[in-house]
Structure 1
Amino acid sequence: KVNISNPADAEAKARIYYDACIDTNETIEKLGEKPLVAVIKQLGGWHILPSTMTKQKWDLQKLVQDVQNTFNLGGLFNWAVTEDDRNSSKHVIVLDQGGLNLPTRDNYLNRTAHKKVLDAYLDYMTRICVLLGANKTEARAQMNKVILFETELANITTPSEDRRDEEGLYNPYTIRQWQKEVPFVNWTMFFNDAFKLVNRTIPDTERIVVYAPEYFKNLTKVIKKYSRTEEDQRTLTSYMMWQVSRSLSTYLSKSFRDATKILRKALFGSEGTEESWRYCVTDTNNAVGFAVGAMFVREVFHGEAKTQGEIMINNIRNAFKRNLKNLDWMDAETRKAAEIKADAITDMIGFPDYILHKDELDKQYEELEVKPNEYFENNIAFNVFSLKNDLNKLDKPVNKTKWGMTPSTVNAYYTPTKNQIVFPAGILQLPFYDGDNPKGVNYGAMGVVMGHELTHAFDDQGREYDRFGNLNQWWNNATIARFKERAKCIQDQYSNYSVEGQRLNGKQTLGENIADNGGLKASFHAYLDYAKTAKVNLTLPGLKYNDRQLFFISFAQVWCSAMTKESTKMQIEKDDHTIAKYRVIGPIANLREFSEQFHCPIGSKMNPRDKCEVW
């Protein structure tokens, strides 16, 4: 139970936010489309909703600014204030490609294979427009034009598999230089419009980093083409208004939320009819996650998991470092530097300490205003709150202890610019970890996740960052060439796997596959080290497997999952991670120790003669 009498209390804000989402008094239902229609009107109106039209002249600069900077919603491109890859203690403004509403560019470009998705997308768009008050025939015709416009964007978007070289993505400019290259908006005006929120002016000498300069140069041509006639300008406006409507319609009444099922069914093979408390928990966690995290940690997190986790990480790090001397492709100097980088990796486990100190937690959310029964407005307030926090970072040094995931998240991550691995409390529970599990079972599940995140520091992207988290070549060229040869072996191995006749993309998933392979090996060796000195190596009652075999069974169990055909297809096309089945089979087939434990004859499916090894 949360006391909501003090609205400045962060946990009270979480409760009020959640209650507004649950909507017991049906405020959201009664309001219907009104909150979103008001936003569209504020943005200058949309011709398919005549009641929203104002007398404003068409002005793309203003529209892009209002959508991106007033409401913190996307459109045409993405931008953020983030760590500078070449100087990771400072922040910088970064521009990148963006603006597609379907998961991948392929959804637009491969029309035959994605016909079902494109048809459902058009139905979904039309449905939302009709719910907002548009005429169905007119809305459908207009949304078709938006899909064609998004297809133009897809055409100039670089596929994610070709964006793995971090050095190649880093393109610094001053705003003045950038303006000459990409003139479709006035960039000094655009950034000053955003930063007025934090009273900061941006001179045209400000340095920015662009991850996709070609995209922006091509976007300039696309915008030019769509600015000629009034009809084309309307398409651009409709595209921006659709960005806004798609993002914000999920905060409206049930009929709007039901509309998303049309698209979900085509993309994922199921409508995902989840009970409202589930999406309200997700939503609250997204907005006020560290306040929710404080409740989660108090209720269910055991401190021993943090202590044990630290011990496991150190054992796995030591096993990883010891294995470096077995890698004949590394020269001595790079090997030494890799060892130093592994030692420099910092880790954070469980949760940030401040969340258990009420005053500090309240301070974190003091600028976020959350009101009862105002679910739509609360989400807009959260968008502005997030933008403001983002903008405020520009002149501040990078906080290396800031968490990027909330405590209840079942996940983990590595940040190359901080050279840091993070494991939230949410993952330190079954099936990944339990204090009462035999150690081999914990090392097979949680240990492999720890090894995986640690190996990311040395995957095809992570290896480009030095121990301080700066993008910088710290390997010699001959070693880089040998690394690439080894990585190519992994890439080809995974590209040869297929599901339902669809080949996996070994290039797109390379970093994750390197991490899966390195993580399994490091954790297994760390467990063997532990087992040597343990008084007794426990197994599980009723099973005939020894502790080392249980390590592998525990590893495989973590990936036990059921997926629809559509979700599998989508994951292969979009995700950097390989599908679950091959996250088990791939690394195990490369690890000699697995076949030793299970006596797989050489040349059998799980013990191929030719194995791939990077780390």
Structure 2
Amino acid sequence: METPYSMTAHYDEFQEVKYVSRCGTGGARGASLPPGFPLGAGRSATGARAGLPRWNRREVCLLSGLVFAAGLCAILAAMLALKYLGPGAAGGGGGACSEGCPERKAFARAARFLAANLDASIDPCQDFYSFACGGWLRRHAIPDDKLTYGTIAAIGEQNEERLRRLLARPGGGPGGAAQRKVRAFFRSCLDMREIERLGPRPMLEVIEDCGGWDLGGAAERPGAAALWDLNRLLYKAQGVYSAAALFSLTVSLDDRNSSRYVIRIDQDGLTLPERTLYLAQDEESEKILAAYRVFMERLLSLLGADAVEQKAQEILQLEQRLANITVSEYDDLRRDVSSMYNKVTLGQLQKITPHLQWKWLLDQIFQEDFSEDEEVVLLATDYMQQVSQLIRSTPRRILHNYLVWRVVVVLSEHLSPPFREALHELAREMEGSDKPQELARVCLGQANRHFGMALGALFVHEHFSAASKAKVQQLVEDIKYILGRRLEELDWMDAETKAAARAKLQYMMVMVGYPDFLLKPEAVDKEYEFEVHEKTYFKNILNSIRFSIQLSVRKIRQEVDKSTWLLPPQALNAYYLPNKNQMVFPAGILQPTLYDPDFPQSLNYGGIGTIIGHELTHGYDDWGGQYDRSGNLLHWWTEASYSRFLRKAECIVHLYDNFTVYNQRVNGKHTLGENIADMGGLKLAYYLHTVTPRPIRSGCGSTARSTRCTGSSTRTTSSSSLPLPRTGASSGGHSPSTCRC
């Protein structure tokens, strides 16, 4: 499903988000913090997914044997390639190439890549991950500003360096106002002297706009009720500063009618990334909660608030009450879209939550005159009923300070170094990070957030060709063909369900590289029609947020264009959107070593091919499988087929529950969908090889099969400076790298 146009999360960076399957981003520090939280890209709101569970125990064993043999073949291929295709192998030092030389050179480069990654001293039967990735891990230390580092992170570093060079240029690229604005924005972010000079002043102006702390001391005076309106402050927080408080407001495709947009209301408003952290049920959570309390007091002091300890305690207690009524995103209830979906009129919503003036609030945000019959989708009915009770029982002063705090949290990363240091101290306690990111990298991240498509236009102009786009499009079609064949072979799916599954595959949209409008500067300019100045970084942020909100609210009366992109083309990601039935493979992930147009196609099968298969599999898992070929929430399975599907998925849960990493068990239920997608991607890429064998004219004695299988193993190569994330043996719905296919 499409991540909604949000008034409460200005931009979702490249992490796992609700409805979107992602391949990892390389573990930049702070990545697990929640949307709007300064260090992070967005809380993982994704429930685990199940895919087509086609693997039985025998198949797993057979594939393990195949991969073992493939690894040995790859070593031989690499050694032979280096011997016969190395410097001077073709008739001495640099003589003229014979016919077929480009293919020979490409394979030689691929063989060197594989050989360098392997560790032949490891028995692949005992530890295939170390066998396939040991060489790479030995050569690559974890950078100081990362907790994990792997092959995908290395691609990310390459992309970042390219983007930094593009931003540093005074001109170049396709041109247009948007390119000038993103460069000016980047320079304003780097101007730390001006940011330090301003100190807390920009935030103090925002706080004053929200009524100040404690309403300037007026909250408890006689008649104060007439001076304070919760709905007006909610409008400021949600509709002006894009801060989720008490709940979230988004504009999204209607799950039951994907041809229209709808306002969606859901649970939100916590600052820490997981509700359990507020409950302090273990020693680790207690430490994080204590660090959060220190962080709150530090920011409140920097902003000149009175009674800092009292304010921090009251706000924290309110967030703890919210945590107690919030349902975990890993709960079965949050995995079943049909059970969450509740379409109500504004009149009905007013009865559910009588302490909020919904018509007034939405009229202000959307600049509309909604009728009482306007329909909205309520995804957390019980939660909102309890929020209404919480509002009734909480003193106005505490509610007011909580709402102001949520705005402060969203914007504090853009202030002077003392604020950033406080954020880093909290991140260090939560994730073990020691060194903050360098300023240039922080500013590149902000440019990606606020000018993603403008920066993407620069990126694809120089780093992704139309020829590469065409090759990947063909590869996607090839793997779709293989999935169609595999669907026919499934013995647990009946004919009626197979017909619906084939229809979904036929209607699936595929977007590769970049949206075509990026080639037209005037079209890109329309995405960024707000002022940007080199000396006003904080104001640039506010201008961007407000314009983003304007674009979001306009969607409510617009026709749906299902060809729009969720992420910019430089994103190091791939994803599937169930409510569009759309797969997207941005140019940022279509880079060596995952994809190289000069590599043998078999190696691309093992790299980007497995990712393509991974995303295809998500279209039929326990989340994507709830949506039909048009992206509508509709149960298209027969009960018999769906029951068999669930039983097979449960086998995968048990399989991964038995994996242990650093004395912690992998949570097979939380990681179910990603595990099945990993398996499905690998298997689809392998079957593609079996039906389209291509001999490699290298004289190396290797086969396409060997390079494909070992190429797949490099996709999840990664090392970590911590045993496991603080949230357990899974990250963003994915199993640890050593457990992934």
Q: TM-score range by the shorter chain?
A: 0.7 to 0.9
CA distance in 2, matches of 1:556, 1:49: 60
Quick one: distance in 1 between partners of 2:527 and 2:305?
Answer: 41
SS in 2 for 1:399: coil
Q: 2:324 matched to which residue of 1?
A: 155
SS in 1 for 2:214: coil
Q: Which residue of 1 aligns with 2:410?
A: 247
Q: Does the alignment pair 1:220 with 2:391?
A: no
Q: Which of 688, 696, 699 is 1:536 aligned to?
A: 696
Q: How far apart are 1:145 and its partner, in Å?
A: 2.2
**Higher mean C-alpha deviation, range 82-91 or range 240-249:** 240-249
Please state whether the residue corresponding to 2:251 is helix, strand or coil: strand
Q: CA deviation at 1:51?
A: 12
Inter-partner Cα distance in structure 2 for 1:545 and 1:233? 73
Which residue of 108, 120, 129 maps to 2:291? 120
User: How far is 1:573 from its partner?
Assistant: 6.5
Q: Comparing both chains, which one has the higher relative contact order based on Cα–Cα distances under 8 Å and sequence gaps of 6 or more?
A: 2
1:398 is aligned to 560
For residue 80 of structure 2, what is the aligned residue in structure 1?
none
Distance across 2 between alignment mates of 1:335 and 1:548: 29
Hey, what's the Cα distance between the residues in 1 that align with 2:365 and 2:509?
34
1:507 to 639, 649, 669: 669
Pair 1:520 & 2:682 matched: yes
Per the alignment, in what secondary structure is the counterpart of residue 570 of structure 1?
coil
1:293/1:406 contact within 8 Å kept: yes
- Contact 1:571–1:579 (Cα < 8 Å) also in 2: no
Whether contact under 8 Å (1:538, 1:547) holds in the other structure is no
Read off the aligned partner of 1:57 and give its amino acid letter: L
**Conserved 8 A contact 1:45-1:52:** no
Q: Is the 1:316–1:526 Cα contact (8 Å) retained in structure 2?
A: yes
Q: Which amino acid aligns with 2:647?
A: E
Aligned: 1:296 with 2:296: no
Q: Which residue of 2 aligns with 1:192?
A: 363
Q: Which residue of 2 aligns with 1:568?
A: 725
SS in 1 for 2:570: coil
The offset of 1:566, in angstroms, is 7.2
Count matched residues: 566
Shift of 1:398: 1.1
CA separation in 2, counterparts of 1:487 and 1:361? 43
Contact persistence 2:661–2:729 (CA under 8 A): no
Alpha carbons of 1:12 and 1:52: their partners in 2 closer, same or farther (altered >3 Å)?
A: farther
1:481 aligns with 2:643: yes
Identity %: 37
Listed as ranges, the gaps of 5+ residues in structure 2 are: 1-168
Cα pair distance change 1:472/1:545, threshold 3 Å: same
Alignment TM-score, normalising by the size of structure 2: 0.73
**AA matched with 1:396:** Q
Is 1:97 aligned with 2:267? yes
**Deviating more after overlay: 267-276 vs 241-250:** 267-276
Counterpart residue number, 2:205: 38
The equivalent residue for 2:624 is 462
Distance 1:502 1:415, change over 3 A: same
Query: How far is the alpha carbon of 1:396 from its aligned partner?
Result: 1.1
Alpha-carbon distance in structure 1 between the residues aligned to 2:515 and 2:488: 35
The answer for the alignment partner of 1:322 in structure 2 is 485
Q: Deviations over 1:88-121 (max 9, x none)?
A: 0110010000111111111112442311211111
Range moving further from structure 2, 501-510 or 445-454: 501-510
Partner-residue secondary structure (3-state), 2:243? coil
1:607 is matched with none
d(CA) in 2 for partners of 1:50 and 1:271?
40
1:452: which partner in 2? 614
Between the aligned partners of 1:330 and 1:395, the Cα distance in structure 2 is 40
Q: Give the match's secondary structure for 1:569.
A: coil
Residue 706 of structure 2 is matched in structure 1 by: 549
The 10-residue stretch of structure 1 (44-53 or 234-243) with the greater mean CA deviation from structure 2: 44-53
The secondary structure found in structure 1 opposite 2:274 is coil
Residues 138-177 of structure 1 mapped to structure 2, 5 A cutoff: 138-161=307-330, 162=332, 163-177=334-348
Contact 2:215–2:400 (8 Å) recurs in 1: no
Instruction: Check if 1:109 corresponds to 2:279.
Output: yes
- Is the Cα–Cα contact under 8 Å of residues 268 and 570 in structure 1 kept in the other structure? no
Q: 1:213 to 1:305 in 2, by over 3 A?
A: same
Task: Indicate conservation of the 8 Å contact 2:176/2:521, yes or no.
Answer: no
The 3-state SS of whatever aligns with 2:511 is: strand
- Residue 533 of structure 2 aligns with which residue? 371
Show the counterpart of 2:580. 418
Q: Which residue matches 2:39?
A: none
Taking a change above 3 Å as real, the CA distance of residues 179 and 553 of structure 1, as seen in their structure-2 partners, is: same
State the superposition RMSD in angstroms. Answer: 2.4
CA distance in 2, matches of 1:188, 1:573: 41
Q: TM-score, normalised by structure 1?
A: 0.88
Distance 1:564 1:109, change over 3 A: farther
Residues 437 and 2 (structure 1), Cα distance of their counterparts in 2 relative to 1, 3 Å cut: same
Q: Deviations over 1:162-181 (max 9, x none)?
A: 21111112111001011111
Q: 1:22 to 1:567 in 2, by over 3 A?
A: farther
| Matched-pair contact (CA < 8 Å) for 1:104–1:574 | no
TM superposition shift of 1:550 = 2.8
SS in 2 for 1:160: coil
Counterpart Cα distance in 1 of 2:730 and 2:679: 21
CA contact (8 A) 1:44 1:52 kept: no
Once the two structures are TM-superposed, the CA of residue 52 in structure 1 deviates from its matched residue by 13
AA aligned to 2:295 is Y
1:3-61 per-position Cα deviation (integer Å, ceiling 9, x unaligned): 49xx970101101111110116x111100000001110110110398799998823222
